[in-house]
Amino acid sequence: MSATYRIQNPATGELIEEFSFATDDDIQQHLANTAQAYTAWSAMAMSQRGKVLLKLADLFEQNAEELAAQATLEMGKNTREAIGEVKYCARIIRYYANEGERLTADQELKNIDGQTAILRRRPVGPVLGIMPWNFPYYQVIRFAAPNLMLGNTVLLKHAEICAGTALKIESYMREAGVLEGAYLNVFATHEQISTIIADPRIQGVSLTGSERAGSAVAEQAGRHLKKAVLELGGSDPYIVLDSADVPDSARRALFSRLSNAGQTCTSNKRLIIMDDIYDEFVAELSNLAQELTPGNPADANRGEYAPLSSEAAAVGLMDQIEEARKAGATVQVGGERPDLPGYYVAPTVLTDIPETSRAYSEELFGPVVMIYRVQSEDEAIELANSSVYGLGGSVFSTDEQRAQAVADRLEVGMVHINAFNMGGEDLPFGGVKRSGFGRELGPLGMDEFVNKQLVTVTSPR
């Protein structure tokens, strides 16, 4: 497979277009341009930047089908899900455009004996975003929107397989009125990213990606004393303590897991099921998974599953499934690739996963459901917390107090009771442990790359 920035159809494997990497001179020009733009962009009234972002939100909404088609073409997301992603981006942009001034309002700390102390939130300068392919619009917008509203400028390095998406985002930024240089897409190599992080004009870096990428970026950011926000992997527990309708619970768990072809950081990757409902739950979920067939993501029908984003993703996932099988896990259904062009992996259900297998401790990024049997709430909590990850988790029970008591003991950044992954533009997103640090979205999303400036005023005597 080509290592360049490209558009390659995951449903067929067809390489449609390739793009050259930036030259080192291009990188230096981008750095100069974003620094120059910061002076003018940060000097604009926040209300004016808000008007630009509202225009951007309108453009995303008005062109949702076009933008979605690009995501479907280059990373395989089914069209319905892709349109939903674009429209969610419009909501995120509007949230920051409408709420930005309130979220950054001056905060009086004290006023005693003629002395006033005020906390102000001010932009810090150009920031770098390194974003993945699995949500090619959402990941970019949740980073860019609050920073642009605040007055920071943005350099954005997208995933190599999302070249078309990256160019469309930049084009609509410009059309909305984002100042030239205030948002710049860069087709950088990994070595050039190191150069950008080291440059004194860059004031911070945000990455969404793998543990390996996060470790590399955090190390470089630390060496150069740059603020970093990392949203890394996840192996979220999905605990079902009891159910009034086990088949329905199994159906909901499966289709939550298969959203975005299972390529979601907060996907319910580990289903932890109480012993008294386990057998019925596994049987129902396995039957449903076995009925699914591969489909064209550009014209997806109910009962069809989409391809993974790349051949490397499909091969890597199959390696994990096969290793789990050899280690003693039971493959209830799936575990193979259909004899078709493209990067499809059949929905797979794994049970009896031994602690010695890679699947027990690694993130499986694709349509694989891992199901664990537990005998008690304490065992469920111990299993849930045994992961090195701590992004999100869910607990289900007909007894809300019982679910709350279990949820209170989960070591995750986000926990949901009787719901799966209840996010929103106004709710913070982020994890603990090896899932990273920092928060995006909501009020906290505007509080990461910000100068929390203390101002004191003493009355003259």
CA–CA separation, 322 and 302 (whole Å): 28
Give 460's contacts (C-beta < 8 A, 6+ positions apart).
none
| Separation of first and last alpha carbons in the chain | 73
SS3 for 155? strand
CA–CA separation, 225 and 205 (whole Å): 11
Of 314, 326, 262, which is closest to residue 289 (Cα–Cα)?
262
Give 412's contacts (C-beta < 8 A, 6+ positions apart).
236, 237, 390, 391, 392, 393, 431, 432, 435
**H-type alpha helices, 151-274:** 163-176, 190-198, 211-223, 246-257
Q: 3-state DSSP helix/strand/coil percent for the chain, to nearest 5?
A: 45, 20, 35
DSSP-assigned letter for residue 157: E
**b/e per residue, 106-122, with b = 16+ CB within 10 A?**
eeeeeeeeeeeeeeebe
β-pair type (107-112, 392-396): unpaired
CA–CA separation, 51 and 56 (whole Å): 9
Give 61's contacts (C-beta < 8 A, 6+ positions apart).
86, 87, 90
Tell me which residues are annotated as active site.
231, 265
CA–CA separation, 321 and 334 (whole Å): 10
CA–CA separation, 299 and 306 (whole Å): 10
Angle between helices 275-290 and 246-257 (to 10 degrees): 50
CB 360 within 8 A of CB 353: yes
